[in-house]
Chains A and B, each alone.
Chain A
């Protein structure tokens, strides 16, 4: 062991053995002094002189002891412990102050931890897959809204898998699965479940292993292979109580016997990565041969080979994709594919980057306000403790030592705030993680990890330094000995002191201004989004996934649909009912449409169009507006007449300036007569411009993908759910217990990210406002207390109570106006930064800015009014006598 290491070790040991070591040293010193005294006596001194001389030669006993301790122990830690003990004592004595300070810090730091955790999960942390930076999502270069332009056919996928040299593997999943697309049939009622079809190698590409059992084998991806499924962890837990022997068991899925071959790990959450807010219960093989003629339906992912850059892979994709065929059987179909490669992580979280950064900034501002507020509180407290500091300085404490003591106190407060903040954040986060209704990716994986803890420590230290600095500077700038002297008949003292505090309050108000403006602009945008004409009326409408068995017979299907719609319409309270295979803002698919002309239509003539296979009454049940023509009738379906209802966009594009009614369109591979025009519906999201849409009857040519019964009623959906389910069960006893969902929930889901951001920024703005008003109140109220005597004299000289009150309020408003002015300018800059997040709102929106000025002015007025009232009630006699 090297001497230095040995010394370090011994120092640490000594640190914990203070008392025995001190005792031993005392003995040693006593022995030393005794020997010195004896020698002095031997040399002829008197006993008294001998003792004095011995002590004199030894030097100070206490100094020696201190030196000894310093040489053997950990002096820095000793000082720290001392400071900590002292801090705890002081903070305990002033528990009111401590409580307020810790509470404010906990709010500020807790909010920061929460937002950082979300940012960490969505932006910073890699996806929960091995080497996730090599995972790539492949979509069309200029995807129009809708999944069809983000997917490829089975043949195109297979060709790309064979042609590319950049990817270790390419796979995908079937992108058009609606929720509850299957039913699990067991002992009781059938249970609706969501199953996703994944192509061969999907889990291997992501490098997800089975938790128990195994993944799919190549032989399970061929036609007529025995059906198998993998269960998701939550579904296995929920539905099978985590049955350890589930592997190998057979379950009945929508009347097919299926073998469970494995359970996926808990960490794999398909929905949170690929389809925010969706829950997926099980996975089954996507058998290419079953889908060859079904058009684009695979969403592609790939894993790059090690060492292959995204750029190189992209260059290769640019070569390959244009050559890919839509269908091998029909080489004449020219899909004109393109492939845009994006790192999966960026694909998942890219759109949220700016919003999250804004949120991060907003919450950082909150922390700044908290620090300013605390600085103010500490400054006020410092003034009250000035005598104490003067005394300690007089007793020999250096400035550095006092400063260190102050910073230790700040640190203790900050750490305590962080601990409570962490508690606050973990509660908020566990709430957020279980909010399936917020369509933010990865949110279910949000948790407090090492990064978050490191961040917490960082902001705690930063905060302590920030709010501890101003009081520290103030303390070390003053003449400490002066503090001991009584401050005379206290007239307006500490002008400088007041100035520092005023500056802090102005900063605080300015920061609050920026937050309020930011929140205001986002709120206005949100209201604008809520005001968007959706093209349908979500209120009072609700939908339910319907199960039926038509035996693949079109006529039977028509009869079943008619039966369902007729009986649903007769349920008391129901106004109208209708069926559609797809609903807006959920799953969608697109085909092509064009006007039938004299020449044969070319591929390029076709307009990509969203397809909805609907029954009569659907348009009305959804509250859509038929602008021209008529709805589909049951006769159209029964007589197998191909008719089509188009939306305004299609009408404008195909028949500009003419009435489309009665014209013939080529839609979905058949000729169809246009019978109606409806207003555009926002089919992908509230904020996306609507695209081309068409509504077709379920005839021979136009096969629906399942069915959703939409019901419009005067009653709330919850009140109808029972009777609707009862009716459906009468028609089909195997109807699973699917959820009767308000259409509004689809809209809410689509707007949930914006709602989430507005809510958070709004809360932060409110918090900022509250803290700023506390700051104003604190400073003004402190000033009034300090000026008691002065106010007393003024009143004695004839100032009226209202004049005194007016003066205080005038001072308050002066501070507020300065803050608002600076905040106004800062807000203008910040508003430009968030312009891209706004919807239908200008970054310089005058009402928002005006409201901010008025709001902050009012808050300042209120915060100043209370101290002003106190000032006006000062009794001059008492105020003057007390000094």
Chain B
């Protein structure tokens, strides 16, 4: 049986978008979506259209900014870039996800002898 794709947890997409923009600099929606697909190795279930709800939400919170510009192929596209408060938020989110991942790792590694291996 083939493994099914990961369903995105609430809020995870927002972090992925912020991280992508932080690393790659200003980018349009298509670029962000493609980048996340590539990084995830096609492991997550993502309709590319979903990215835009996340983008508008982040923008309204002031964590990213948007501006119309021209793409590498000379095409008109809307470019997003991370803001200062977006970076702060990303730092907070990163710390949170690291802690959560570590915790989940410990919990799932627990055996019947009191959790220490």
Listed in ascending order, the chain A residues whose CB lies under 8 Å from chain B are 1, 3-4, 6-7, 10-11, 14, 24-25, 27-29, 31-32, 34-36, 38-39, 57-61, 63-64, 67-68, 70-72
Contacts and interface: CB of A to CB of B under 8 A. Distances in A.
B96 interface: no
Given A3-B61, A7-B57, A35 B47 contact: no
Contacts of A39: 34
A29 B53 CA distance: 12
B49 A61 contact: yes
B40 interface: no
Nearest to A11: B60
A781 to B, nearest CB: 53
Interface string B54-78: 1011001111000000010101111
Nearest to A13: B60
A28 B52 contact: yes
Interface of A is mostly: helix
Nearest to A21: B56
Contacts of A64: 47, 49-50, 52-53
B94 interface: no
A68 B29 contact: no
A754 B49 CA distance: 73
B75 A31 contact: yes
A42 to B, nearest CB: 10
B12 interface: no
A754 to B, nearest CB: 65
A70 B57 CA distance: 10
A71 B57 contact: yes
12 contacts: A14-B60, A31-B75, A31-B76, A32-B48, A34-B75, A59-B49, A63-B47, A63-B49, A64-B52, A67-B50, A67-B52, A68-B56
B61 A4 contact: yes
B42 to A, nearest CB: 11
B47 A57 contact: yes
B48 A35 contact: no
Given A3-B62, A3-B85, A6-B62, A29 B75 contact: no
B105 to A, nearest CB: 30
A38 B47 contact: no
B30 interface: yes
Interchain residue pairs A-B with the least CB separation, the first 5: A59-B47, A64-B49, A10-B60, A3-B61, A71-B53
Residue among A1, A6, A35, A70 facing the most chain B CB atoms (10 A cut-off): A35
Contacts of B28: 31-32, 35
How many interface residues does chain B have, given as a range?
A: 20 to 34
A616 to B, nearest CB: 95
Interface in B8-39: 28-30, 33-34
Contact of B49 (A3, A6, A29): A29
Given A32-B48, A38-B73, A7 B61 contact: yes
Interface of B: 28-30, 33-34, 47-50, 52-54, 56-57, 60-63, 71, 73, 75-78, 85, 89
A40 to B, nearest CB: 11
B5 to A, nearest CB: 13
Contact of A28 (B71, B78, B89): B78
A70 B53 contact: yes
B49 A72 contact: no
B54 to A, nearest CB: 8
A4 B60 CA distance: 9
Given A32-B48, A68-B52, 6 more contacts: A35-B75, A36-B30, A58-B49, A63-B47, A68-B56, A71-B57
A788 B85 CA distance: 72
B60 A72 contact: yes
Contact of A57 (B29, B48, B78): B48
Contacts of A36: 30, 48
Contact of A25 (B48, B52, B54, B85): B52
Contacts of A6: 60-62
Nearest to B85: A3
A52 to B, nearest CB: 14
A31 B77 contact: yes
A8 to B, nearest CB: 9
A881 B114 CA distance: 83
A72 B56 contact: yes
B78 A31 contact: yes
Residue among B49, B56, B77 facing the most chain A CB atoms (10 A cut-off): B49
Contacts of A29: 49, 52
Nearest to B54: A71
B60 A67 contact: no
B77 A35 contact: yes
Contacts of B75: 31, 34-35, 38
Contacts of B73: 35, 38
A28 B29 contact: yes
B30 A71 contact: no
A59 B61 contact: no
A68 B62 CA distance: 17
A64 B56 CA distance: 12
Nearest to A66: B53
Contacts of B76: 27, 31
A191 B50 CA distance: 86
B53 A67 contact: yes
A27 B61 CA distance: 22
Nearest to A36: B30
A433 B50 CA distance: 63
Contact of B56 (A1, A31, A71): A71
B62 A58 contact: no
A857 B28 CA distance: 78
Residue among B33, B60, B73 facing the most chain A CB atoms (10 A cut-off): B60
Contacts of A32: 28-30, 33, 48, 77
A64 B55 CA distance: 12
A31 B28 CA distance: 10
Nearest to A63: B49
Contacts of A71: 53-54, 56-57
Contacts of B52: 25, 28-29, 64, 67-68
A686 to B, nearest CB: 73
Residue among A1, A24, A32, A70 facing the most chain B CB atoms (10 A cut-off): A32
A35 B30 contact: yes
A64 B78 CA distance: 16
A29 B56 CA distance: 13
A25 to B, nearest CB: 7
A472 B50 CA distance: 35
A365 to B, nearest CB: 50
A2 to B, nearest CB: 9
A7 B73 CA distance: 33
Nearest to B72: A35
Contact of B89 (A3, A27, A61): A3
B114 to A, nearest CB: 42
Contacts of A57: 47-48
